[in-house]
Amino acid sequence: MSLRTPLGKVRGLGSAKDGTQHFWVQRVSAVALIPLTIWLVAELVCLTGAGRDEVLDWLGNPIQAILMLLLVVAGFYHLKLGIQVILEDYVHSEGARLATSLMNIFVCFAGGAVSVFAVLKIAFGG
């Protein structure tokens, strides 16, 4: 039995029942992505026209591999949060919203998993 009052339980949580968590994680990932995207654009511009060997060489460097891992994890998580808000705003039918929200989560985590696997495979000399 909880001694907390009903008002105390919901205060600060809002209609979504998770308070400011979504807002905060969206901002944290946004701040992380500022330097990471600048790094990615600079590296990709330098890799213009590069073949597979050059890409393997590049991601074989531990620093580059770690930065790429941070970028794909922060990026796909930020994407998941952003698309979620768009679906909540624009998809009005409950069934369609549930289906598209699940698809959003699955696609973003799959994209992240594929990217992380690929970077690790290259980094470990695979």
Contact 82, 29 (CB under 8 A): no
4 in contact with another protein (CB under 8 A):
no
Choosing from 32, 56, 70, 91, the residue that interacts with another protein (CB under 8 A) is: 56
Q: Which of 10, 103 has the CB closer to another protein?
A: 103
Query: Please, which contacts does 91-98 make with residues 24 or more away whose CB atoms are closer than 8 Å?
Result: none
How far apart (Å, rounded) are the C-alpha atoms in residues 35 and 39? 6
Which residue stretch of 6-14, 92-100, 106-114 sits at the interface with another protein (rule: CB under 8 A)? 106-114
Contacts to another protein by CB under 8 A: 27, 30-31, 33-34, 37-38, 41, 44-46, 48-49, 51-52, 55-56, 59, 68, 72, 75-76, 79, 82-83, 86, 107, 111-112, 114-115, 117-119, 121-122, 126
